Structure 1
């Protein structure tokens, strides 16, 4: 049976969705009576429970602040957009040893989830066309262990139930942050288990549930991921071989293959200034020459002075550089863009590139079908790259996944993740988690007795 279409290309609503939401209303109202947040079950690594002081530009209720057990503090504002869902703003990072917070981002947000089906019959734009934000899901305490679940007022939601207990902030361990066996002192090993601040929401679109996850690590890295879970569409088992995959007994029912192209929009504000610089680095490797023992590699820097449509390739990377701030070694602070696994979708102009850098424009908020600009303004990010000089660059990241279903996708469907991270490059003079005993080993050092 083909997938049913509602007016405007909206996916059919899931039966029972409204009932599940209504069943949670009593719990939501109880939470609101007690305040803006509720706490989940106990855990060893528990975020602070005292209300955070207001971050710049937002109230205390819309501030997220967490000092991790390793000494790093992350602070930010949050709000909930009628199409993008969770938006994080004024994000700052204060590692131990720094006298004040270091601003990293003015804002970070999802910018589109594009879902084209392989048979060409359906194509969805989940943020701007499928009520992504309105379908914020209630979270149970077990989903936010040791953390706090905040109540969110959802724009354009059911007016009788506008508040959803749907924003989790908690901490997670991520394994080794570092490990070093001291060669000079054989009985000494330095190791540290890393800690993250995790902020996430879950939004339902049709049969899918999207987990939008932001991880703020104690080493200054920010990881941004979207995890798709929920269920395969039970109305899309009419694909032919080559457009789908047989699911269930025999080779009768073919689940239609499709893509998920997820976009993020990052507005950097390093050290409090939006006048950041973007640089591209490319390395070339040459075969050994003469008496050289091995091949050589040479890295060149290209300053990105104008808007860019860029693609990942071997030995290529980008960084966003502060125009005003330097670390204690005198090096300009920057953040490197670190891509995750991706499949570039060639079917649409805006999905043909892995990343874009555009000059800031207040109305350019979504990578495609952007509804915020005046008539006549191009609707997608690829059309905004027009050679304009960059004075306030905005970075758009595109991460694609081609979903060819498998038997293990039932039931429920395991989460498949796609995303990327930004990693500090020269933000601090040393590893921000460096133990005191090694703090003197900065730059070229020799053992001292």
Structure 2
């Protein structure tokens, strides 16, 4: 890939189209050069043009600066173990996945014990296919975790910019090319979020001459990492709420991957350009982002089941009511992997992982809901080579029995993959998943048709999902959260918004 710099570091916005250079990395010599716009690019017999890209080298880590609350953080970190409010979990770092949350359990005040929720959760793969079919573009169907390392591309976080002033920072270590450990500074930040949200509230106005009001502000704990894979920056958050929810959020920002063009106005375009004219001679290419999460839930134990609860419109069978219809919940427990595959958006569906061996006092199975915030799925055909390798994007939800070798949705060796070692191939065995140790795989998708506001640097676009208690507690677990005390605060500001 060739770019025109002319004194700027923003090379991604100045591509040279039609030029392909082949480099011998051992000799560090250019051994091939083609300009497609003047000379057709030759193809050798039997050549298999596979996806590839040389990513820029890492910048050295920034100097570590730790900013904490005056009275210390509101959470405790012991090695990689984090304790906050009613949550206890383990945070680790992986060169391929980035942050891994494991052994997450929540304290049940009524039962007076910690109860397990999430055994392990992480980003298993990130698939980014571009829709341009030209010679220099068709192969750009990146697997950012399996090919480049989502964790390897993590960057140092800046206090007061990437993370708030009350954040605590943690380093990570990776294996260098010589086998020795390499320190990556300030890869994680952990902070208590006071965003002005409401945990719960109610105002009772039906009592004459009396107003009863109760409000509790929302306070949560956030674990954050940023991975810069080439031109895109991915902001990965794991947020823990006192109500029992775990929220995973992905924010996309950074730079678009654009192509040079002869067009300076949309009216001049008379061909398929695979994107949007963002500026003079600059096309923002249509593309997707698919992040698939590995969620090994252990809801109050490791024997769980997956339940699909569809909301079904039902006609009133007689004239006993002036209403003509209503909806009811029709639940179905998935018995095999095929039963659990779901494409979101076709119907209203509640997705639950329950423990069929544990019930509340009311007789409901304890569980956790998967609340998706995205139902986007792949629009590529099944026989497209890139889609064959990324067949895990065909469904938004998969459920498999736990298998320690089934960790990476794109296969163990993604660079060499031909689609024969992926989540889609494992699931073809159609194994039993009822009342077993199961793994839920959720594919979070973005279809990105660029707009001019995304150029030259893209404002953050976010989505995610929530793991929310579903009859896990006997009642609202945060009813006894104390209201905040009034505190005299200094009237000061650090940043001025202009």
- Find out whether 1:396 has 2:441 as its counterpart: yes
Q: TM-score, normalised by structure 1?
A: 0.82
Give the Å deviation of 1:156: 4.2
Does residue 84 of structure 1 match 2:97?
yes
TM-aligned CA distance change 1:219 to 1:359, over 3 Å: same
Superposed CA offset, 1:330-358 (max 9, x none): 53210011111232113233211110001
Match in the other structure for 2:163: 144
Work out the CA distance in 2 between the residues paired with 1:356 and 1:226: 20
Please tell me whether residue 416 in structure 1 is matched to residue 435 in structure 2. no
Matched, 1:350 2:392: yes
Question: 1:13 corresponds to which residue?
Answer: 55
Asked whether the 8 Å contact 1:270–1:325 carries over to 2, the reply is no
Query: What secondary structure sits across from 2:313 in the alignment?
Result: strand
Give secondary structure in 2 for the equivalent of 1:39.
coil
Aligned pair partner of 1:197 in 206, 211, 221: 221
* Match of residue 36 from structure 2: none
Q: 1:65 aligns with which of 83, 98, 116?
A: 83
CA distance in 1, matches of 2:262, 2:350: 42
Where does residue 215 of structure 1 map in the other structure?
Answer: 239
Alpha-carbon offset, residue 209 of structure 1: 1.1
Preserved contact between residue 209 and residue 229 of structure 1 (Cα < 8 Å): yes
**Taking structure 1 as reference, are residues 257 and 269 closer, same or farther at Cα in structure 2, changes over 3 Å only?**
same
Q: Secondary structure at the match of 1:129?
A: helix
Residues 1:387 and 2:417 are matched in the alignment: no
Q: Distance in 2 between matches of 1:157 and 1:171?
A: 36
SS in 2 for 1:382: helix
SS at match of 1:282: strand
Distance (Å, rounded) in 2 between the aligned partners of 1:173 and 1:325: 35
Alignment counterpart, residue 327 of structure 2, candidates 272, 286, 297: 297
How far residue 233 of structure 1 moved from its aligned partner, in angstroms, is 2.3
Secondary structure of the structure 2 residue equivalent to 1:135: coil
User: Secondary structure at the residue paired with 1:162?
Assistant: strand
Matched, 1:173 2:225: no
Between structure 1 and structure 2, the one with the greater Rg is 2
Tell me by how many angstroms 1:315 deviates: 2.0
- Residue number in structure 2 paired with 1:245: 276
In the alignment, the residues of structure 1 paired with residue 94 and residue 19 of structure 2 have an alpha-carbon distance, to the nearest angstrom, of 29
Tell me the distance in 2 between the aligned counterparts of 1:164 and 1:255. Answer: 33
RMSD: 3.0
Q: Give the number of equivalent residue pairs.
A: 404
The answer to whether residue 364 in structure 2 is matched with residue 322 in structure 1 is no
Query: Is the Cα–Cα contact under 8 Å of residues 258 and 282 in structure 2 kept in the other structure?
Result: no
**Match of residue 309 from structure 1:** 341
1:1-52 CA-to-partner distances (Å, cap 9, x unmatched) read 25868897443334xx53x425x2xx24xxxxxxxxx6325489x7336x54
Partner of 2:295: 266
Distance 1:411 1:377 in 2: 35
Alignment deviations for residues 264-314 of structure 1 (CA, whole Å, 9 cap, x no partner): 01001122x211111111122134563432422232111111113222232
2:129 aligned to which of 88, 111, 116: 116
Structure 1 CA distance for aligned equivalents of residues 303 and 397 of structure 2: 19
Q: After superposing the two structures, state which structure 1 stretch, 234-243 or 407-416, moved more.
A: 234-243
Structure 2 length as normaliser, TM-score?
A: 0.74
Distance, in Å, in 2 between the alignment partners of 1:248 and 1:277 is: 51
Unaligned ranges ≥5, structure 2: 1-16, 24-49, 264-270, 381-386, 483-498
SS of the residue corresponding to residue 383 of structure 1 reads: helix
1:154 alignment partner, SS class: strand
Distance 1:411 1:281 in 2: 44
